A and B are shown apart, each in its own frame.
Chain A
């Protein structure tokens, strides 16, 4: 995963490392390389220009702190700006003990919500929580069947009813799962042009009053990530966190970074495969140092 982005960023970093001396021309060249690498990884173009401008400004203006060479300082700047883009600190999912927590999953068609619902349920179950799943997608044929099969596999109770409206399923499901620690609501896929569906999502949110709304984003999404993420955020008021899926493929996940910047929500998990255990917590610092080939800083 992400090899290509990593390779391209590394090339830029190595250009600094191997330079005889650091001058304006080198910095500009490196900034161009970083731009190219990020754009190719589907990071929003405007966002790329913004952060690379900041990298350029800092590299030209800032004096390296004591003990750092100019080269090391520039590498540090690149690292810091990229980490900033991802929201700095790892923000693990918090489950309040002693009461029922509600998590609602939203996202575009095919981004991986249903599989993620099961993955998240398994992750929480492993941590010792009692989990319940609600299948609130009544549109896609066999969506309920899909989640049911997954729920059986991980032995987690599920509520769904194909004869009901999504809002009523959520209501009933919440009634049923009074004594669990976490309820995960899977919703139908929708996109920003489907106003009616965005409204429906809003109603589900009002009924379930979730502790956290998680936006599930396909790692392969391109420049549309930003506007789509904005539409989701506008509809439900706030996106609490982001899960990026399909990062086991060739996707570079840059679109997800754009969604992070747009929603100001941190990435909490990444999906790295089809199996229920292919699910990892996300840490921006570790992620970027791995991307830049820096090891742990």
Chain B
């Protein structure tokens, strides 16, 4: 998923670096024998990299390897805006193509510019590292580092003898019901008891869909008739969980557009009445610039604690993950990566950084359970 972003950042960093060397009248310097053998080895490595492009190598490693022959800057260089303008403009377009929202792209480009423009680079400086850090910081700056440990919350609540209540919200068709089923499956496998609340009382077939999942996973659903009050259904489920000492209540809600005032009022009421431990916003990774708007509006209405990003297996480029993180400053907890119950993987800002600057890409299954 972050493969593409990695390529884009890598390319831009490479170009900036070249520019700096050119400006500093870089020249090839051959040092002692010892270095030369090292160089040969590096040239070989470079070949391998070309053949086996992005496999198993970190951003920085690959970045360094392109420096097959140690280059130095002869005289001090000051980077001016014109030096990197074109490169950053290209990067801007490429990030947009990777579904990073315009607002976020501009922020990233700005951050790289701020860090590099006006910077004096002397012959003693490590050019690679300076450029690499500027690029990396542009991403770190927009990612939140807040963390949520779901199991910790569940265990703490369990000690206090109460269930952990999680309400899922989001626009239509992003994958709330399916994500609930996957999370229930995950939690059950970890030894927690789970009950589902059929709080989508509106969409045709929604209750039946949740029931079918519950049957397959082996958990109970608390439901009422279609059209019932969503808050009441979830409240019932919480009472049930309290009585039966069940660890977790996962509450489904109907999909709603953030522009629909009535439905947003309804979800506010649901959260007010049920007082969940966590409100999870479910977002579709294929979403473009709308991701930011949706996340912001739901956050304003009900206060999002975390995000599940779905349909990542559909070749999403990772832009939505970065954009949503930026928009609400809340962590993405899980990625939905397929049509099986186990296709839910844990996620964190470190995970993004590792995926962009680290080694391999995520692998997905195309098998289908539902």
Contact = CB atoms under 8 A, between A and B. Distances in A.
A142 B366 contact: no
A220 B297 contact: no
B366 A42 contact: no
A112 B208 contact: no
A218 B286 contact: yes
Contacts of B172: 110, 112, 246, 274
A142 B259 contact: no
A222 B288 contact: yes
A193 B286 CA distance: 13
Contacts of A248: 257, 259-260
A66 interface: no
Contacts, number: 162
A222 B366 contact: no
A40 B204 contact: no
Given A142-B209, A143-B205, A246 B317 contact: no
Contacts of B288: 42, 220-223, 254-255
Contacts of A192: 314-315
Contact of B290 (A108, A228, A252): A252
B284 interface: yes
A215 to B, nearest CB: 14
A39 B96 contact: yes
A224 B291 CA distance: 14
Interface in B232-252: none
A246 B293 contact: no
B174 interface: yes
B315 A110 contact: no
Given A108-B311, A193-B366, A141 B258 contact: no
B315 A193 contact: yes
Contact of B209 (A39, A41, A140, A193): A140
B102 interface: yes
A222 B102 contact: no
A249 B320 CA distance: 18
B349 interface: no
Contact of A142 (B208, B289, B339, B364): B208
A193 B314 contact: yes
Given A110-B284, A140-B370, A196-B366, A220 B209 contact: no
Interface in B162-217: 171-175, 202-213, 216
A27 interface: no
Contacts of B311: 108-110, 191
Interface string A183-198: 0000000011111110
A45 interface: yes
A270 interface: no
Contacts of A224: 99, 286, 314-317
Contacts of B284: 110, 218, 220
B258 to A, nearest CB: 6
A110 B370 contact: no
A248 B206 CA distance: 21
A245 B255 CA distance: 14
A250 interface: yes
A41 B96 CA distance: 11
Given A111-B173, A141-B370, A250 B286 contact: no
A139 interface: yes
A35 B209 CA distance: 42
A224 B210 CA distance: 29
B289 A41 contact: yes
B339 A139 contact: yes
A145 interface: yes
Nearest to A109: B311
Contacts of B319: 222-223
B171 A246 contact: yes
A203 interface: no
A142 B205 contact: yes
Given A191-B315, A246-B171, A45 B97 contact: yes
Contacts of B111: none
Interface string A231-274: 00000000000000010111110110000000000000000001
A140 B93 CA distance: 37
B96 A250 contact: no
Contacts of A195: 366
Contacts of B205: 114, 142-149
A218 B173 contact: yes
B98 A141 contact: no
A252 B289 contact: yes
Interface in B11-25: none
Contacts of B290: 42, 220, 222, 249-252
B305 interface: no
Contacts of B294: 220, 249-250
Nearest to A107: B173
Contacts of B258: 249-250
Nearest to A219: B290
Given A110-B172, A110-B173, A228-B314, 17 more contacts: A108-B314, A115-B204, A146-B203, A146-B209, A149-B205, A191-B311, A191-B313, A193-B313, A194-B366, A222-B291, A223-B96, A224-B286, A224-B314, A224-B317, A227-B315, A250-B294, A252-B290
Interface of B: 93, 96-99, 102, 171-175, 202-213, 216, 255, 257-260, 284, 286-291, 293-294, 297, 311, 313-317, 319-320, 339, 364, 366, 368, 370
The 5 closest A-B pairs by CB, nearest first: A222-B288, A146-B205, A110-B173, A141-B212, A249-B257
